[in-house]
Amino acid sequence: MVQTARAIFWFLARLPLLIGIFVMALVMSSCTMLGLNYASLETQNKPAPEPEIDVAAMAEDDGHRAGLMQTFEQVLYGPWPDGLPVRWGEARLVEADLFGGKGRLEEIPVTIGTGEGASLFHLVVATPSGAGPFPVIISQTFASNCAAFPGFPVTSTDDTPCEGSEMEGTVGFVATQIFGTYIARVPLERFLDSGIAYASFYGSDFVPDRRAQASAVMENLGGPVAPTSTLMAWAYAYSAAMQALEARPQVNPDAMVLLGHSRFGKAALLAGVWDRRVDGVIAHQAGFAGASLSRSQTGEGLKRMGTSYPHWLAPEAQDWFDRLDALPVDQHQLLGLLAPTPVLLGNGRRDVWSDPNSSYRAALEASRVYVAAGASGLPPGGMGQDFDPQAGIAWWLRPGGHSVVSEDIDTFIAFVTAQFDTPLPKQSAVHAAE
């Protein structure tokens, strides 16, 4: 009787946590299936990517490239919102003595659009101490600035100073258990120690990731061209963040690297194609409409993704979901359009939902364009190859699922430091002298 009572008490005491885990698992599984299987490492028995790439034309013919980009706009992403006004305000100092002198933290208000429909987000910027200029990673986050920079008085979604974070308590515990330590919180100190500046904003502050609201927000932004997909809108937001940063003396304007996980990895790839000022792209587990082949039948699939999240793609994409084999373009061509811009494609062996296998095959085909454009292609060795951070198109596979974990951060840093001149930050130089 006593043991039964103890068992009941134990269960009741943990009931809120168990309910929270169950609810969060249901909610989160709507955007990604939990990794329970392993991605196949076999590529020889898979079909070659289609349509066939015209390597010489993609590497040398601007007209051919422009035609491919236009086709991608017509069938998947909608137009690049060329000419959509971008403006930003004065930087506000958040923390002058970040991590005991390793850097400083600032915040820049960035507005995209014109009139009453213009949309504002706050770009939080951390720069290392030292002469610089430093390469910068520009990221969009899944949670608000309050969650990305806990404990710092940055600005919340409702334009007030942050007090606490939505990632605290049960929600944060469950999210980080499923999607990794850094799905929300930014590892600022690790970037600063590596001599890398970091800037990010909450993507949904610009265009919300909600089908009922996203279309209306995009339509009302103003400007000569309005985006019709959130992926293209978020891609343009990367471009706007670059504009706000490129004149800052601590930032190297020739070493601006876009970082995105999952849906923001898709957007980072688009920004790298449509805005050629981008110097590097890290697309981590970008999946369908990102680095994985649209014709693939493994994992989530383009149709399921576009049906679950119709606002991610342009309305015209719906016309292709039942005839994917007839698509006039596929993602190996999108990756080829990036050449020779360095790109890192991160993958998880258990992230079958994002289909690492077809991501590798797309990268392998696109690497032919990189070589033709004078950059290095994907090293030989298959999906299990050693990661080469110096490759023009770098592909990386780790254990685990759809998440952002410590190993990912190490890989992102290795890629940036291998590709760009990274000055030693001031505090690191002092420690080296000691």
Single-letter amino acid code for the residue at 111: T
Q: At what angle do helices 62-72 and 331-338 cross, to 10 degrees?
A: 140
The CA radius of gyration of the chain, in Å to the nearest whole number, is 22
| Residue at token pair 């993507």 | 203
Residues 213 and 224: their CA atoms lie apart, in Å, by 21
Residues 115 and 118: their CA atoms lie apart, in Å, by 6
Tokens of 3: 């043991």
Helix and strand totals (H; E) in the chain: 15, 10
Q: Please list the alpha-helical segments (H only) found in 246-321.
A: 263-274, 302-308
Q: Please list the alpha-helical segments (H only) found in 220-330.
A: 230-245, 263-274, 302-308
Task: Report the pLDDT value the prediction gives residue 173, as an integer from 0 to 100.
Answer: 87
Task: Report the pLDDT value the prediction gives residue 296, as an integer from 0 to 100.
Answer: 97
Residues 75 and 29: their CA atoms lie apart, in Å, by 27
Contacts of residue 384, Cβ cutoff 8 Å, sequence gap at least 6: 41, 397
DSSP 288: B
Cis peptide bond N-terminal to 425, omega within 30:
no
Of the candidates 144, 159, 151, the residue with the CA atom closest to the CA atom of residue 105: 151
**Quick check: 59 and 392 in contact, CB under 8 A?**
no
CA distances from 330 to 311, 335, 338 (A): 20, 9, 14
Cis peptide bond N-terminal to 133, omega within 30:
yes
| Residue at token pair 């079958």 | 352
Task: Report the pLDDT value the prediction gives residue 386, as an integer from 0 to 100.
Answer: 83
Kindly report the number of other CB atoms within 10 A of residue 291's CB atom.
Answer: 31
- Residue 106's region, left for phi above 0, alpha for psi from -120 to 50, else beta, is beta
Q: What are the structural domains of the chain? A: 1-30 (no CATH), 55-433 (3.40.50.1820)
- pLDDT per residue, tens digit, the chain (434 aa), is 555 555 565 555 555 554 444 444 444 444 445 556 889 888 888 999 999 999 999 999 999 999 999 999 999 999 999 999 999 999 999 999 999 999 999 999 999 999 999 999 999 999 999 988 999 999 999 999 999 999 999 999 999 999 888 888 888 888 889 998 899 899 999 999 999 999 999 999 999 999 999 999 999 999 999 999 999 999 999 999 999 999 999 999 999 999 999 999 999 999 999 999 999 999 999 999 999 999 999 999 999 999 999 999 999 999 999 999 999 999 999 999 999 999 999 999 999 999 999 999 999 999 999 999 999 999 877 888 789 999 999 999 999 999 999 999 999 999 999 999 888 787 654 444 43
CA distances from 43 to 49, 292, 301, 360, 384 (A): 11, 13, 18, 8, 11
Tokens of 403: 């998440």
Residues 382 and 41: their CA atoms lie apart, in Å, by 8
Residues 241 and 268: their CA atoms lie apart, in Å, by 12
Single-letter amino acid code for the residue at 346: G
Of the candidates 325, 324, 330, the residue with the CA atom closest to the CA atom of residue 307: 324
Tally of CA atoms within 13 A in the half-sphere of 201 that contains its CB: 29
Tokens of 15: 């009931």
DSSP 134: E
- CA diameter of the chain: 81
3-state SS record for 354-391? HCHHHHHHHHHHHHHHHHHCCCCCCCCCCCCCCCCCCC
